[in-house]
Structure 1
Amino acid sequence: MTENTGAQGRGKQQDRTPSVLDNFKPLLIDVAVPLGSYYLFKDAFGMSTFAALAWSSVVPAVRTGWSVVRERNTNGLAGLILVVNVMSLLLSFVSGDPRLMLAKDSAVSSTVAIGILVSVALGKPMMTAGMKPFLVKGDAAKEAAWQRLVAGTGARAQAFRRKERVFSVVWGVVLLAECVARAVGAYTVPVDTMVWLGNVILIGAMVIGFVAGGALAAGPMEHMLAAEAEACPAERPAVAVAA
């Protein structure tokens, strides 16, 4: 007896769940690289505060643009971040104000937050694309269950879509609060302090977003997804058997 293990192996590779490092790599790049490069440019190369801030902001903008080009599809969140990064960099170069360079980070947060909240109002929650892989985990039954829940009309489907909207609302509110904190800090805290404090505020907002979003939306959605998958399991692929 032989099984068609080749196709199954390829399927497992395609459905590989991203590791924790894969999921958090963009955040690490956007936080660690600008922070480290700022102090490198300013202290090691003797650049001005504004020049160090400007050059340290290039990597996140380039990374976002490259991800849009590489994926070759329209990602609303990545597109928003890219546009705001480019526009804020241009405005900062025109003004030459290092505090405006710091305030641009709050502009990114506010624009993304507003975009997320608008997407909820339009019935297309923007944060769903980032949440789905964590809940489905490459499982065919859960993928089918997800499709049924987002397209269904039953009580469970309606509850699932409500939680989907709640998840995006949580992140929209958290990012708006982070925007206010960064904007205030940019004009009240010393520039050198705000360079690292801004990242602390960002990480704190991310932690709050994950905890609150998980408790209020992602956790309940995961339970509903598991119940739906168990109630209507996906058809198992046929296994080739040789005499």
Structure 2
Amino acid sequence: MNAPQASTTERTPEQKRAALRRHLIRQLIIELVIPLGGYYALRAAGVNPWLALIAPSLLIAGIVAYHAIRERRVEAFALFTLTLIVAGTVMTLVTGDPRTILVRDSWIFGVLGLWMLGSLLTQRPFMRTASRAIVTAKIGEEGYREWDARWDNDSRFRSHLRILTGVWGTAFTLDAVVRVVLAYTLPIDSIPLVSTLQWLAVLAVVIVFHNCYITRHGLKV
């Protein structure tokens, strides 16, 4: 049986910020440190580009699976990411082309962007689902349920989440196009760094917009 989670009123602003920092650090390690640092570390050790690209992906897949088992809950976003990593890895094993992995990242972001946009037509737009991890990290399961319950009786809340979903979906889709161009025009060893830097630039812009939007419209917890 899971231990009871702290309610919204039981967590101080400092505790919320600390919980959010832990969540963001974990995501930073999974999404940036392992894939980028792992690639260049392996290349510096003389590993060929194909293996240097595929090894970090397999490690990330293992971490995602581990957290799902440990928390006894499969996040939709984590499952989606794991599925695409596995599918991309299998495709790479078949082709043996390192650029296939780099293009894989492009279609991962492209499919994810289209999935976000497609979710606008459902009762669970991407931002409603994706917010669970951050909201739960900050205010616990009970706090998340209170936050999510606004969907049923607050039309402005629904509209705000759909707008945010649309912005993120558009950013991911456009980013995928840029990644394809980079994957086929740059030298292999420069692609991971350049691709990561351009994604961080896009991400920074979207995050600034996101934070300003949720603060202005009372979505911040």
C-alpha displacement of 1:52: 1.3
Residue in 2 aligned with 1:92?
Answer: 92
SS in 1 for 2:126: coil
Q: Deviations over 1:86-122 (max 9, x none)?
A: 0001101111111111111112111221222222211
Find out whether 1:220 has 2:216 as its counterpart.
yes
Give the number of equivalent residue pairs.
210
Cα distance, 1:201 vs. partner? 2.2
Kept in 2, the 8 Å contact 1:61–1:85? The answer is: yes
Report the TM-score when normalising by structure 2.
Answer: 0.81
Cα pair 2:106 2:176 within 8 Å, conserved: yes
Per-residue deviation, residues 5-27 of structure 1 (Å, max 9, x unmatched) = xxxxx764799521324223212
Give the letter for the 1:202 counterpart: W
Structure 2 partner of 1:29: 30
Match of 2:163 in 1: 166
Larger radius of gyration: 1
What stretches of structure 2 of length at least 5 have no aligned partner?
1-5
Q: Report which of the two has the higher share of helix.
A: 2
Corresponding residue of 1:149: 150
Structure 1 distance, partners of 2:109, 2:28, is: 14
CA distance in 2, matches of 1:133, 1:82: 16
Q: Does 1:198 align with 2:195?
A: yes
SS where residue 215 of structure 1 aligns? helix
Q: RMSD of the TM alignment (CA)?
A: 3.0
Asked if the contact 1:53/1:98 (under 8 Å) is kept, the reply is yes
- Cα distance in 2, alignment partners of residues 87 and 76 from structure 1: 16
1:56 is displaced (CA, Å) by 2.5
Residue of structure 1 in register with 2:81 after alignment: 81
- 1:42–1:161: structure 2 CA closer, same or farther, 3 Å change rule? same
Q: Report the more deviating stretch, 68-77 or 140-149.
A: 140-149
CA distance in 1, matches of 2:119, 2:178: 24
Q: Any residues of structure 2 matched to 1:1-243 within 5 Å, and which?
A: 12=10, 16-17=15-16, 18-44=19-45, 46-131=46-131, 137-138=138-139, 146=147, 149-152=150-153, 157-216=154-213, 218-222=214-218
- Taking structure 1 as the reference length, what is the TM-score of the superposition? 0.75
CA apart distance, 1:143: 6.0
